[in-house]
Amino acid sequence: MQGTRTIRLLSLALLLTAVFFVFSGIGRGQSIFRVPERLRLNGIGEPDPNEEGHMGVITGAFYPIGWSKDGKFAYLFEPPDEDCGCYFAEVVIQDLRSDKIVWKERYSNANAPEPTEEDRNTLWKKKGAEYTARFREQGIEQLDSFMLLHPSINFEGDVLTPKIDIRIKTDGNFMVDGTVTVSMTSRKHGSKVVHRDIYRRRDTNGFRDAEISGSLVSPFEPRAAIVIVEVVRGWEGPPNVMQIKIAGSTLAGGFRK
């Protein structure tokens, strides 16, 4: 009887494991995505080793993951911890044809019963299979390495340069009015607007500044993910904190002189 019960329990465990992998989209021959590697950014997105907080900004960390063949881009961002002693992470899949977020999950251990030391490695042990299923659903393929191009992209004999135009007014707290426009300029063909944020005073945002840290180019098509580092007001005022925004741009066509 004991042996029969043990066999049944093992069979049930195997069945549940099989069901998990079927529904998670991870089948035989498919492995969980690797823990992504950090990509060093340019400018205010990286801390100055000689200062506590680069230019008064508490920085986070950016980890690109991969691309799909239809213009989606996946990445992990670790937002800065202002004074919690916590671990925060955002995992994002974004459609760069429309800049819409297809899927996003925020993770935090701020409400854990007991303080625990966490990082992206412990996060991946907990959530890696679930994240991999999401990536596979959207056709994301993980890349071994990424090259951040800055300030320009060489494409088919042309030089393309993303630029940012910031026109805002702020009350010094969280209320912001104005626009932030990202454009792509071609040395041969003119320029085009690829992304614009409109801020209204009634919206609580705290935007302070932004710059383009560089661009990543898809291995599957002529499309770029423009990495924008934003600075927003900290909860208690300075130091302010860093955010990541991605703007998509096709490298071919759409330019006007």
The string of pLDDT tens digits covering residues 99-148 is 999 999 999 987 777 767 899 999 999 999 999 999 999 999 999 999 99
pLDDT at 178: 93
pLDDT at 201: 77
Residue with tokens 């992504």: 36
Computed on alpha carbons and rounded to an integer, the radius of gyration of the chain in Å comes to: 21
If one counts every other C-beta atom within 10 angstroms of the C-beta of residue 173, the result is 10
109, 127, 105: which is closest to 118 by C-alpha? Answer: 109
For the chain, list residues with pLDDT below 70: 1-29, 48-55, 115
pLDDT at 49: 52
pLDDT at 138: 98
CA atoms 22, 16, 109, 31: torsion sign: negative
Q: How far apart are CA 46 and CA 20, in angstroms?
A: 39
